[in-house]
Amino acid sequence: MTSAVFSPFTLPCGAQLPNRLAKAAMEENMSDEGQVPGPNMLRLYQRWAEGGTGLLITGNVMVDGRAMTGPGGIVLEKNSALAPFEAWAKSAKKNNTQAWMQINHPGRQVYAAMGGDVLSPSTVPLDLGKHSHLFGKPRAMTHKDIEHLIQRFVDTALKAEQAGFDGIQIHGAHGYLISQFLSPLTNKRKDEFGGSIENRMRLLISIIEAVRAQVAPTFAVAVKLNSADFQRGGFDADDAKIVILAMNKLDVDLVELSGGSYESPAMQGTTADGRTLQREAYFLDFAKEIAQIATMPIMTTGGVRRLAVAEDVLANGIDVVGMGTALAMNPSLPNDWKKNNQLSAHDPVVRWKDKTLSSIATMAVIKRQLQRMGEGKQPKLNASPIFSLINDRIRLKKLTKRYQAYLAR
């Protein structure tokens, strides 16, 4: 019997996903000069497309080159040249795969060493204990800043559509700018963008409305949202439900549920408020509840390494299963599952005493696999966390220099 995971799925915009498996956004940090995708990115996405995943969501693409989640990030603005993005979309769609671009603004989650604009709803800096100094101090956004930001999301979405992507995903999770507006811990505003959840979600809702009004009705508009931030006093599951109810009234094609931020890396299975998540499919309990009130399709991402777990996610009323780590360790996992349904993806999680350092090392191991695939190599399952971390630091230093030259231009 074929698994439900391999059944197609039609989205509200009419597009069909060939199966229920999605590669969740993973920032590649592999841009070429000019912060654009190059040959390595094309190789990487073709590899995923050929591996049998139905939907590929790109790593976050910045709507403003002056504010980046990392120095090797991709930027797509109103006046960006389209050719590198057309090539990227083409490589991701090689196998009838749906390709969406995730679009994002980091807000206050910007490394101080990089420079650029550090914006946030209010002036609350990131608190990572002894690592806090690594991040820039945010400036509170004015109304003009907010207006410009909404327009930037629209511009980037339109360019993604022109380049041949099938949809976009607005990044409203993981403590980036939209998520900073959603959380009462980072949003201390007294105007119509702060206070009640109705006000805190105004930015996200305005972006969805503005994008949807400009792109074709057949172009997918999706959102990544935290089921909760997992911080005391932060955006919680009740807030998330109110946001979902508001999005029910808009033409949203898919909501991906995740959780956490740099301060509380729940997306890696660890929370700051001590709440325990499921060992596999971290956010399934939340997603299940949300799916009951959501009229749009729901996807959840986090911790899925085995086919049985993906099947369990679907059996609980979720429509699409997202995977990041598992597809970095094995880009052909969906095709391999068709041959061996017991196959489990390698889990590279690093567990050192310093939780922040462990989290960065885990990311470094995973990012190294993306770089290897970009070079046409196989992932290296036994990659050393220390070596990967050092390699990552050296790479980031070089990329930071290059980014600063870009910024100066």
Query: What residue ranges bind ligand FMN (CB under 6 A)?
Result: 24-27, 59-60, 102, 171, 173-174, 224, 258, 267, 301-304, 323-326, 363, 366-367
Work out the number of other CB atoms within 10 angstroms of the CB of residue 77.
16
Q: At what angle do helices 202-214 and 237-247 cross, to 10 degrees?
A: 30
The CB-of-20 to ligand FMN minimum distance in angstroms stands at: 14
How far apart are the C-alpha atoms of 98 and 301, rounded to whole Å? 17
- The vertex-214 CA angle with 89 and 13, nearest 5°, equals 65
258 DSSP β-pair partners? 226
36 DSSP β-pair partners? 32
Residue nearer to ligand FMN on the CB measure, 159 or 194: 159
Residue nearer to ligand FMN on the CB measure, 44 or 363: 363
Compute φ and ψ for 176, nearest 5 degrees.
-80, -175
Residue nearer to ligand FMN on the CB measure, 59 or 136: 59
Q: Which residue has its beta carbon closest to ligand FMN? A: 324
The CB-of-258 to ligand FMN minimum distance in angstroms stands at: 5
Residue nearer to ligand FMN on the CB measure, 159 or 174: 174
- The three-state secondary structure class of 242 is helix
Residue nearer to ligand FMN on the CB measure, 200 or 367: 367
Residue 112 DSSP code: T
Residue nearer to ligand FMN on the CB measure, 194 or 300: 300
The CB-of-195 to ligand FMN minimum distance in angstroms stands at: 26
AA identity, residue 147: E
Instruction: For residue 259, give Cα distances in angstroms to 172, 225, 282, 323.
Output: 10, 7, 9, 14
Instruction: For residue 287, give Cα distances in angstroms to 11, 220, 239, 256, 321.
Output: 18, 21, 14, 9, 11
Q: At 228, list the tokens.
A: 């909760």
The CB-of-303 to ligand FMN minimum distance in angstroms stands at: 5
Q: Which positions ≥6 away from 401 have C-beta within 8 Å?
A: none
Residue nearer to ligand FMN on the CB measure, 122 or 268: 268
The CB-of-190 to ligand FMN minimum distance in angstroms stands at: 30
Compute φ and ψ for 2, nearest 5 degrees.
-80, 145
CA dihedral 105, 108, 110, 113 (to 10 degrees): 150
